[in-house]
Structure 1
Amino acid sequence: MTRTLHPYLDHPSTLAFAHRGGAADGIENTAAAFRRAADLGYRYFETDVHTTADGKLVAFHDPTLDRVTDASGKIAALPWSEVRQARVGGKEPLALFEELLEEFPEARWNVDMKAEPALTPLVDLVRRASAWDRVCIGSFSEGRVARAMRLAGPRLATSYGVRGVMGLRLRSYGIPAALRMGAVCAQVPESQNGIRVVDRRFVTAAHERGLQVHVWTVNDADRMAALLDLGVDGIMTDHLETLRTVLTDRGVWV
Structure 2
Amino acid sequence: MVPYLRTRHGAIALAHRGFSLDGRENSLAAFAAARALGLEHVETDAHATADGVAVALHDERLDRTTDATGLVAALPWDVVRRARIAGGEPVPRLDEVLGELPDLRVNVDVKSDDAVGPVVEAVQRTAAHDRVCLTSFSTRRRRRAVAVLGRPVATSAGQAEVVAFLAAVRAPRLPARTRAAAVRAALRHVDCIQVPERSGRLVVVDAATVAAAHAAGRQVHVWTVDDPADQGRLLDLGVDGLVTDRADVLRDVLRARGAWGGR
Same fold (TM over 0.5): yes
Residue segments in structure 1 that go unaligned for 5+ positions in a row: none
In the aligned structure 1, how far is the partner of 2:216 from the partner of 2:22? 37
TM-score, length-normalised on structure 2?
A: 0.91
TM-score of the pair, normalised by structure 1: 0.94
Task: Select between 21-30 and 186-195 the one with higher mean Cα deviation.
Answer: 21-30
Percent identity, please. 48
Answering whether residue 228 of structure 2 is matched by residue 232 of structure 1, we say no
1:55 aligned residue: 52
Alpha-carbon shift at residue 129 of structure 1 (Å): 2.2
Contact 2:15 2:247 in 1 (8 A): yes
CA contact (8 A) 1:29 1:60 kept: yes
1:26–1:127 CA distance, 2 compared to 1 (3 A):
same
Q: CA deviation at 1:153?
A: 6.5
Aligned residues: 250
* Correspondence for 2:227: 220
Aligned to 1:9: 5
More off after superposition, 151-160 vs 241-250: 151-160
Q: What SS is found at the alignment partner of 2:239?
A: coil
Q: For the aligned residues, what is the CA RMSD?
A: 1.5
SS at match of 1:100: helix
Distance 1:25 1:231 in 2: 32
1:74 corresponds to: 71
1:119 paired to 2:116: yes
Structure 1 outlier segments of 4+, above 3 Å: 174-178
Q: CA deviation at 1:180?
A: 4.9
How big is the shift at 1:147? Answer: 1.5
Distance 1:221 1:180, change over 3 A: closer
Q: Are positions 1:91 and 2:88 aligned together?
A: yes
- The alignment partner of 1:25 has SS state of coil
CA 9–220 in structure 1, closer or farther in 2 if over 3 Å, else same: same
Choose from 101, 123, 131 the match for 1:104: 101
Instruction: Give 1:154 shift.
Output: 6.4
**Residue identity matched to 2:128:** A
Q: Does residue 65 of structure 1 match 2:96?
A: no
